[in-house]
Amino acid sequence: MARFESILDSIRKPATLLPLLLLAALALVPFAASLADQPFYVVFFARIMIYAIAASALNVALGLGGLVSLGHALFLGLGAYSVAIPAYHGIDNGWVHLAVCVASCGAVGLLTGAISLRTTGIGFIMITLAFAQMGYFVFVSLKQYGGDDGTPVNATSRFFGYDLGQPATAYAVAFALLCVVLWWTARLRVAPFGMVLRGARQNARRINAVGFRAQRYQLAAYVVSAVLCGLAGMLLANLTAFASPATLSWIVSGDLIVMIVLGGLGTVFGPLLGAVAFMGAEELLKMVTEFWPAVFGLVIFVVALLRTVGLAGLLEKLAPRTPAPPSGPSASPGPAAPGAPAARILGEHA
């Protein structure tokens, strides 16, 4: 009963309630679009959810593990071409596409992550960027598959008779996958694995001193992040029926980082809020002025200058403050339990 009440209290907080209402609104978009006879909204919000999945994937490595990667567009592109290349040869079996996506993103993520994690700071950023650019030029050189112009996806993924090339099907799968990823991220943040990652982000030396191998945890997070980003790329290729080397551009990696920062770095709903804000503002500004990149850049500059904790952090500030417990002899803590130093090191960091 106490746990149920704790869950209800958590849901009542603006930082949780408003994102849940946003998810509920996204669930109703196909019905609203059908009533208004506006299929554009299904495609548009499906793209938002796909990029929210990719941003959530990067958030595992960046927000929890502190790995600033400018190369996650590589995995988004690999996921897209995992559909496009088999489709070029007439293969529309979704399970084949999924297997190629998971295998390629997992293998490339393991290889590039193992090499990149030998460096830190700006070195890590630059080497992940270099890997992404290498992937970009590899796909540009594949003239058989369209080269720089990209290639259409003529045989979209089919699962159990359902075609992901249909916008409504792609929307439903993207929504379900987004919900699963958000739920998994929430569990990961408070799981031992996630706490080690967050501790390594603060001080990897202390994590190693406690007895954990911080680099192994970071590599595992990087690979999982790569696979999830690849799944987003697979959905994107099915939704647009097209795959292009532009998906592997470092600009796309930068967009994902901006979404995470706008939404809230390391938070559960931050990538979703950031994706909605980023792509929604982009679409609105396009209708107002052709110089929308300059206006949007100024908005991002102001957000960075104010050093806010993102939209999720602003929602958290709306929650009513709970009074601090009374101090005094009665409130003094008892003797420290065994393993207390490790608990402090790996303790939850808001």
Q: What is the pLDDT of residue 347?
A: 43
Q: Hey, which residues does 243 pair with through a beta bridge?
A: 151
Give CA–CA dist 270/323, Å, rounded: 27
Q: Hey, which residues does 159 pair with through a beta bridge?
A: 162
Q: Compute φ and ψ for 278, nearest 5 degrees.
A: -65, -55
Q: What is the DSSP letter of 61?
A: I
Give CA–CA dist 316/325, Å, rounded: 20
Q: What helix, strand, coil percent values describe the chain, rounded to 5? A: 75, 5, 25
Tokens of 200: 């390594």
Under 8 Å CB-to-CB from 162, ≥6 apart: which residues? Answer: 169
Tokens of 9: 């209290």
Q: What is the pLDDT of residue 349?
A: 39
pTM of the model: 0.87
Give the CA radius of gyration of the chain: 21
Which amino acid does the sequence have at 144? Answer: Q
Averaged in consecutive runs of 10 residues, what is the pLDDT profile of the chain (350 residues)?
50 74 93 91 95 95 90 94 93 95 96 92 92 93 90 92 92 96 93 90 86 90 96 95 92 91 88 92 84 79 69 72 52 44 41
Q: Residues of 91-130 as b/e, b for ≥16 C-beta within 10 angstroms?
A: ebebebbbebbbebbbebbeebbeebbeeeeeebbebbbe
**What interhelical angle do 167-190 and 192-210 show, nearest 10?**
40
Contact assessment for residue 310 and residue 62, using Cβ atoms and an 8 Å cutoff: no
Q: What is the DSSP letter of 323?
A: P
Q: Hey, which residues does 93 pair with through a beta bridge?
A: 158
Give CA–CA dist 207/197, Å, rounded: 9
Which amino acid does the sequence have at 121? Answer: G
Q: What is the pLDDT of residue 337?
A: 42
Give CA–CA dist 53/232, Å, rounded: 6
